[in-house]
Structure 1
Amino acid sequence: MAYVDLNLLVVLDALLAENSVARAAQRLELSPSALSRSLAKLRATTGDPLLVRAGRELVPTPLALELRTRVRAVVEDAHSVLYPCTDFDVATLERTFTIRANDGFLDTFAANLISYIDEAAPGVHVRFAPKPDKNVAALRDGLVDVEIGVVGDTGPELRIQALFRDRFIGVVRADHVLAQGEVTAQRYVGFKHISVSRRGYQSGPIDSALAGIGLQRTVSVVVPGFPAALSLARQSDMIANVPERQTEKSRVGMFSFALPVTTGELTVSQIWHPRFDKDRPHRWLRGCLRHVCAIEGSSSRDDIE
């Protein structure tokens, strides 16, 4: 086997993270000239320039972009081998975690999660990232620690753990006609509906269930998030169809009811990259999420049924 200078991987990781010889040198506590020599070796080894100048900045080549995640994982694995974490005191932990979740989850769980974390680890900060889609590239790239949601096509390497089960319910303003009497399927389809879809879809499982009994609803508005759907329902005769547990606090003062047709339950999970499996602070964060989701909103279903 040919000799491989593994120190070059550490240099490449820093260069791809900083896109700057000077900043990478500062990060590794080396001189810029030493970093430049290492970059020259990397270019000779890979046969690729890796970083090229664009004005005053350096930008990565396609090969560098392809290598970035792999190099980061190798360096992290090497660090965990040489410096295993044996002591862990959450009270002195200083770290920022990034969690990607939709607005409904944040509205219901975020406040209690932050309170729970702050009480145990005041040095820990949480950044909630927007979730415009189900693309898991940010997890693979290490830009997001945990993603919360219904599992889609995540890829075989990601780790998944269920947090809670949810179901869709109907919601209308408090003085709506549907607030009086039984909400039958016929009454349900007699009003216009608000659909929630990031991709603009008007139909889904509810429409399939209605079609099975020969009924069809009218979806007159499509919005990208549950808070917008509930806001519209508060100010109109339209019906919002939202997940029960993730909208509990947003539905206060409104009339909520079980759907008159059967739709499948949703399993909301936390998803992370295996690079964090053995990371004790990350494991602690996942435990915090499990704890908060287990106790929050547990009474909402009994209020409706």
Structure 2
Amino acid sequence: MQLPDMNLLPALDALLREGSVTGAALELNVSASAMSRTLGRLRRVVGDPLLVPAGRGLVLTPRAHELQPQVEAALAAALAALQPPHPIELAEIEREFAIRADDGLTAVVGSALIARAAREAPGVRLRILPEGDEDPADLRDRIDLDLGSLPELPHDVRSSLLCRHRYVAVAPTGAPWAQHALTPRQFAALPHITVSRRGRARSVVDDRLAELGLQRKVLATVPAFVSACHLALESEALALVPSMVAVKLACTMPLTVRDIPLDLPSVDVGMAWHTRVDADPAHRWLRTTLTRIVEDAIALAQGAPHGPDDRQSRLVGRTFSV
């Protein structure tokens, strides 16, 4: 279907409201002759004279009276559709966000994100999905936000770096060897709990130890950081987890955080989302909120207080390069 010239809509609206060619021309800042020609085009399109002479002026035809509310509504809808979105009212948002993240990141950001949503956007619901053999293309229709170490992303996915962290070791606070800094030899001699989604027991830690002529004993490999910390507590082993995760869990578990005495690479943690939600105000709020929560977690990991009466006093390895 061939659409009519939509530029005629504002002129028709002005003519019907003013009931005058001259008045409509003044409103639209055009000449009276130009508006007269436009009225002629409108008559041909609509199939009705619209305005007819009555004494010294013009009056609307019955068809023009019928059209007036339709034209006003159509013009208002067109203007609304072509305007930038109004600032959102967070308290009025009704939305569910599907977020994919590992258990460690969920532990770090989950409670703070829930609290912020309850306070600022109570209509927001969070659906946290576990990592797996995921495809970044899921962001096109199934996932709203991906958190973690991101793979190579397709061209239609945006991303930003949340932080760089390094791994640390956590141990039961009561363990005698947890009260002092570890040497590489002491670190290697202790039993380890490692984390791998794919069950890999060997990592860059083993490569660095091998360079020093050392080898460690891995008691177990588990797929989740929180599970590794629980196993470390019950087996008096070292669990190797990201520094932010270690500090967060040590706030509620009797764990001591220790630096790993090896030159290990840092790990990039980012978030990724599809271009379909790039300009969405509610999604922008989600991204901004998560960024601030991670910044707070970094600040905690970098400068956790450890006075004798502070419940975080066991965070003895507090100078993390997060």
Which SS does the other structure have where 1:143 is aligned? coil
1:38 paired residue number: none
Cα distance, 1:277–1:91 mapped onto 2, change above 3 Å: same
Contact persistence 1:191–1:237 (CA under 8 A): no
Give the aligned partner of residue 285 of structure 1: 286
Aligned-partner residue type, residue 139 of structure 2: L
Q: Whole-Å Cα distance in 2 between the matches of residues 181 and 129 of structure 1?
A: 38
Q: Is the 8 A contact 2:181 2:259 kept in 1?
A: no
Report the Cα distance in structure 2 between the residues aligned to 1:83 and 1:242, rounded to whole angstroms: 50
Question: What one-letter code is carried by the residue in structure 2 that aligns with 1:269?
Answer: G
1:245 alignment counterpart: 244
Aligned position for 1:117: 117
Note the C-alpha offset of 1:182.
3.0
**Is contact 2:137–2:154 with CA below 8 Å preserved after alignment?**
no
CA shift for structure 1 position 153: 2.6
**Considering only aligned residues, what root-mean-square deviation do their CA atoms show, in Å?**
2.1
Relative to structure 2, which stretch is displaced further, 256-265 or 82-91?
82-91
Larger Rg over CA atoms: 2
Name the CA distance, whole Å, in 1 between partners of 2:116 and 2:166.
Answer: 26
Separation of aligned partners in 2, 1:298 and 1:134: 30
1:301 aligns with 2:302: yes
The residue that corresponds to 2:25 in the other structure is none
Instruction: Work out whether 1:149 is the aligned partner of 2:160.
Output: no
**1 CA distance for matches of 2:249 and 2:118?**
24
The answer to whether the aligner puts 1:96 opposite 2:96 as a matched pair is yes
Give the alignment's TM-score, normalised by structure 1: 0.69
Partners of 2:247 and 2:300 within 8 A in 1? no
Residues 133, 198 of structure 1: 8 Å contact kept: no
Task: Give the CA deviation at 1:168.
Answer: 0.3
Question: Does the Cα contact within 8 Å between 1:108 and 1:247 map onto a contact in 2?
Answer: no
What is the CA distance between 1:99 and its match in structure 2? 0.8
Tell me, in whole angstroms, the C-alpha distance in 1 between the residues paired with 2:198 and 2:119.
38
The structure-2 alpha-carbon separation of the partners of 1:85 and 1:131, relative to structure 1 and needing over 3 Å to count, comes to farther
Aligned equivalents of 1:132 and 1:149: distance in 2?
12
Deviation at residue 85 of structure 1 after TM alignment = 5.2
Deviation at 1:246, TM superposition (A): 2.3
Partner of 2:105: 105
Name 2:232's counterpart in structure 1.
233
Residues in 1 aligned to 2:121 and 2:161: alpha-carbon distance in whole angstroms: 24
Q: CA deviation at 1:185?
A: 0.4
Partner amino acid, structure 2, of 1:124: V
Aligned to 1:223: 222
Unpaired stretches in structure 2, ≥5 consecutive residues: 2-79, 304-314
Map of 1:131-146 to 2, 5 A cutoff? 131-140=131-140, 142-146=141-145
Rounded Cα–Cα distance in structure 2 between residues aligned with 1:99 and 1:167: 23
Task: Assess if the C-alpha contact under 8 Å between 1:248 and 1:297 holds in 2.
Answer: no
Contact 1:99 1:146 in 2 (8 A): yes
Provide the residue aligned with 1:257 in structure 2: 258
Partner of 2:50: none
What are the within-5 Å matches in structure 2 for residues 18-57 of structure 1? none
Amino acid at match of 1:293: V
Residue type matched to 2:98 in 1?
Answer: T
* Structure 1: segments with no counterpart, 5+ residues: 4-80
- The Cα shift of 1:232 comes to 0.7
